Structure 1
């Protein structure tokens, strides 16, 4: 069960991140697709199922945020990641600022992925 949940979680995390990258690209290219409600819903569904698989993994391994530093760090960074994606898509930003926020968002995602792979806190460990 653990292996299936883990593979599902990683796949959903990658698909969610790819969805973010595609939508950000549409925003940079001024495509009308960035306003596509279906694309937003797909991204939200992927993210919701990723969070559900994360909860399932926590229960399976018996480790939880606030009691395990690496999971606390992942959860905190995920919240920052979610906020930064909202900033990119919901606020009018200068192109340079949008690029900077997107790069920071990608860095946050990579940090979350690294922490999950190592099962060890990276920033505050």
Structure 2
């Protein structure tokens, strides 16, 4: 059961990130699809199920944010990631700032993924 849940969590995280990349690409190309409600809802559903699987894994592992450093980092970075994705989709941003924010957001996601894989805090360890 644990292995299936981990694979599900990782798959949902990857799908959520791919969804983010696609939506960001639409934003860079000034496509009307960036305003597509269906694409946003799919992204939100993927993210919610990813968070549910993360919570379930925490319970199964008996490890929790604010108790275990690596989970605290992951949660903190996820909040920053969510905030940066919301900023990225502000239509008033200049292209240069949007590109920089995209790079930072991808870096945050990769850091979250690395911390999750290693179960070790990277930033405050």
TM-score (ref. length: structure 1): 0.99
Partner of 1:39: 39
Q: Report the RMSD for the aligned CA atoms in angstroms.
A: 0.6
Report the alpha carbon displacement of residue 92 of structure 1 after superposing the two structures with TM.
Answer: 1.3
Aligned ranges 1:25-64 → 2 under 5 Å: 25-64=25-64
Match of 2:19 in 1: 19
1:114 match: 114
- Cα distance in 1 for partners of 2:41, 2:63 equals 30
Q: Which runs of 5+ in 1 are unaligned?
A: none
Residue in structure 1 matched with residue 78 of structure 2 by the alignment: 78
Count residues in correspondence.
125
Q: CA deviation at 1:91?
A: 4.9
Distance across 2 between alignment mates of 1:29 and 1:16? 20
TM-score (norm 2): 0.99
SS at match of 1:90: coil
Alpha-carbon separation, structure 2, partners of 1:74 and 1:30: 32
Q: Secondary structure at the residue paired with 1:15?
A: helix
In the alignment, the residues of structure 2 paired with residue 63 and residue 90 of structure 1 have an alpha-carbon distance, to the nearest angstrom, of 36
Flag as ranges the 4+ runs of structure 1 deviating above 3 A. Answer: none
Deviations 1:32-68 (A, max 9, x none): 0000000000000000000000000000110000000
Q: Secondary structure of 1:87's partner?
A: helix
